[in-house]
């Protein structure tokens, strides 16, 4: 019997809010063969907020984080949904999925970054 997959929801992720700097709505990631591996993820990140993705190994945390930057590991691709970022804190937003590679490179590191947990990091291993 396979475990039931649940859609991840963040309270009010799709509600209008002028403090939001990143909004992920119904994000779905597929394998190149068309199998969906990330199922309708929604969350929002407000200015000054820290967001941690928590889950079992293989649950899609890294896939979701990288997708927010328009990056997909080999064999994966964008399925559907949207990743919106307000890089300057105003009403103008960017749809990450609409950006070309040059614009994505400019965005990565300067306005959005992914910080992975390393296996040896004591700060993310409460039992160590």
Nearest in space to 27 (alpha carbons), one of 58, 65, 74: 65
Q: What is the value of pTM for the model shown?
A: 0.74
Question: Where are the alpha helices (H) located in the chain, listed in sequence order?
Answer: 61-67, 101-107
As a whole number of angstroms, the distance between CA 18 and CA 47 comes to 9
pLDDT of residue 70: 93
Contacts of 7 (CB under 8 A, 6+ apart): 39, 40, 41, 42
Only one residue has tokens 């209008």, namely 16
Determine how many CB atoms are found less than 10 A away from the CB of residue 80: 13
Question: φ, ψ for residue 108 (rounded to 5)?
Answer: -70, 130
User: pLDDT tens across 21-57, in order?
Assistant: 899 999 999 999 999 999 999 999 888 888 888 889 8
Topology classification of domain 20-124: Rossmann fold (3.40.50)
User: pLDDT tens across 91-126, in order?
Assistant: 678 899 999 999 999 888 888 888 777 665 555 555
């Amino acid at each position: 019997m396979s475990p039931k997959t649940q859609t991840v929801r963040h309270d009010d992720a799709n509600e209008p809010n002028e403090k939001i700097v990143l909004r992920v709505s119904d994000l779905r990631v597929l394998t190149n063969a068309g199998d969906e591996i990330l199922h309708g993820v929604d969350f929002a990140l407000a200015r000054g907020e820290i967001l941690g993705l928590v889950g079992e190994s293989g649950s899609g945390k890294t896939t979701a984080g990288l997708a927010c930057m328009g990056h997909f590991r080999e064999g994966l691709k964008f399925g559907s949904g949207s990743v919106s970022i307000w890089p300057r804190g105003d009403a103008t937003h960017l749809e990450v999925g609409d950006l070309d590679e040059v614009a994505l490179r400019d965005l990565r590191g300067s306005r959005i970054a992914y910080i992975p947990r390393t296996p040896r990091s004591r700060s993310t291993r409460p039992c160590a």
